[in-house]
Amino acid sequence: MSANNLGAWAGGWVTAVYLDFMRLEDLDQVAEIEREAFSMPWPSSAYRRELRTNKNAFYIVARLGTPRNEKLSPSYALLRRPFPFSLIPHPPSVEHYLSQRDLIVGHTGLWRLADQAHITTIAVRQSYRRHGVGELLLTGIFDITYNIGSEAVTLEVRKSNTGAQRLYIKYGFHQVGIRPRYYSDNNEDAIIMWTDALNSESMRTLLAQRRTELAAKLGIPEIPEWLPGARASTEERR
Ligand SMILES: CC(C)(COP(=O)(O)OP(=O)(O)OC[C@H]1O[C@@H](n2cnc3c(N)ncnc32)[C@H](O)[C@@H]1OP(=O)(O)O)[C@@H](O)C(=O)NCCC(=O)NCCS
């Protein structure tokens, strides 16, 4: 069964979603999501290179299911944060994913560039959109940026992608300029967005507010913060 069909199912199964660092073995699923999300998807080879060699790249995934009690390095185990995700049903046939490594419903990543963070990608599996997974991924991104000491966050987004722009605006990004004809597939302009300084009171207040709202939306007490010391390098987390 294709993972893309999951959203068509409307049974009563519920599961949990949690953030986790992306691993090499996740790349088939990440590629699936990339293909349905982007007209110019990144190939798995690009992700493999990022995970293996780019010490300034941080990639995370949102997995359905509950974390296992597998043997993990202490820092890695602490980074896992399960919570009930009661909004989305999934069929029993999803169990084959969950029994191996949990179904990935979205991913995102950033580059640390000096004192700034640049979001390189964010995508949610089509059938799981509009349930807060994109927001959850962004909270993970912001946790990482605070963790690595970034002063602000930037990204580019297609001018026509108003859904994503609304998500970013909700999390404090604002338009600062345009990169004309940035996307080579259709020569579409990119909108350049930045947050205010992450340490500004306005950003801290906004993000705290958004976390509270997201927790309420997901029916959980709070969105826990990732712990200091989080590192994303593949080598460091194995
Ligand atoms: C953009 C994307 C990651 C959002 O993920 P998602 O899980 O559906 O987003 P969420 O459910 O967390 O949405 C949070 C907020 O984003 C905004 N939003 C997200 N999708 C939207 C849409 N299609 N239309 C309008 N607003 C949208 C809304 O403000 C929403 O809040 P609300 O539900 O309270 O109105 C997802 O649509 C996606 O993968 N798109 C394809 C890839 C892509 O365009 N990535 C961005 C590249 S720059």
pLDDT digits (tens, 9 = 90+) for 14-65: 457 778 889 999 999 999 999 999 999 999 999 999 999 999 999 999 888 6
Lowest mean pLDDT among 113-122, 141-150, 194-203, 217-226: 217-226
Q: Is 170 in the pocket of ligand 1 (CB under 6 A)?
A: yes
> Hey, which residues does 190 pair with through a beta bridge?
158, 179
Closest C-alpha to 151, from 189, 196, 84, 191: 196
**Domains plus CATH for the chain?**
3-221 (3.40.630.30)
Q: How confident is the model at residue 217 (pLDDT cuts 50, 70, 90)?
A: confident
Residue 90 token pair = 């999934």
Residue range 149-180, pLDDT digits in tens: 999 999 999 999 999 999 999 999 999 999 99
DSSP 200: S
Residue 132 CA, closest ligand 1 atom number: 12
Q: How far is the CA of 13 from the centre of ligand 1 (A)?
A: 24
Tens digits of per-residue pLDDT, 67-78?
A: 554 433 333 333
